[in-house]
Amino acid sequence: MKVGIIGLGRMGQGIASRVAGAGHDLCVYNRTADKAAALAKAGAKIAKSVAGACEGREVLITMLAHDEALDEVTRGPSGVLASLPKGSIHVAMGTHSILATRAVSQAHADAGQLFVAAPVQGRPEVAAAGQIGIFAAGPADAVTRCRPLFDVIGRKTYEAGTDQTTAAAIKVAHNMVLGCAIEALGEGFVLAEKYGVKRQLFYEVLTDVLFACPAYKGYGKLIADEDYDKIGITARLALKDADLAFAAAEDVTVPLPSANAWRDRLLGAIAHGLAEKDQSVIAHAQAKASGLR
């Protein structure tokens, strides 16, 4: 399959390496060109523009950090709308708001183009191993055509229907629950540590007795080891995710009391210069607030 990928950040790199490794005809574009060097060695073509990444592609994947980037890449001059061949599919795999997803979906529909929202779940190392979860929504035939790629990129695809905003809603709500879980982990670790409990012991208790699942094991280990430089999503990007959750909740009148604590802790971490650490650094912020650091 002829595939284009725009956006080679931590997650985009892993996704692109999976596509290249499966033997697909891959063309990539990133504003910072040196991020494409390893993929070039793996046989990928390197485009010099968004339009170049779209040229002759059957599927164009965007993995972008925020709504503004998605809008610029999609609707900007020589963007995806203007450059993607007729009948090809734009697959947005980044985390985007309900509003932005709806706007891009409508723009593609107005242009007679196909659009699939397919945000993903997992850290960069999980993406590189092809084990991420994919939440896909869009025209049924377009999702079906993307299936071979999804099977290479991820562990499981959760089909969310034909309305692209449902996939965005799943991802926004998913990130909110994960953020609240990390906040609770930080509080638990600090409470136990104040009584002299070793972090590794508490981690073992949590992941063996209570929560034997990847999220608690993965983020619990980062907190136990205080390894906040092992970045999946930065605190700054997690704050964006929190804001997406509150925007979605306000739109349908849903209170999110737990998410307030998560967002406040992220703001505190960022205020203390920790914006580019992994989002689990909110546990460090909790420790400081409790007089431990």
Two tokens at 174? 């998913």
Beta carbons of 144 and 74 less than 8 angstroms apart: no
The answer to whether residue 171 is catalytic is: yes
Backbone angles phi, psi at 49, to 5 degrees: -160, 170
Residue in 171, 230, 277, 288 annotated catalytic: 171
Question: What are the residue ranges of helices labelled H in the chain?
Answer: 10-21, 37-41, 50-54, 67-75, 80-83, 98-110, 124-128, 140-153, 164-194, 199-205, 214-225, 235-251, 257-271, 282-289
Encode 198-262 in three state secondary structure. Answer: CHHHHHHHHHHHHCCCHHHHHHHHHHHHCCCCCCCCEHHHHHHHHHHHHHHHHHCCCCCHHHHHH
Two tokens at 182? 């990390």
d(CA 228, CA 169): 28
Q: For residue 138, give the nearest of 165, 172, 174, 111 by alpha carbon.
A: 165
141 CB-near residues (< 8 Å, 6+ apart): none
d(CA 133, CA 148): 14
- Catalytically active residues, by annotation: 171
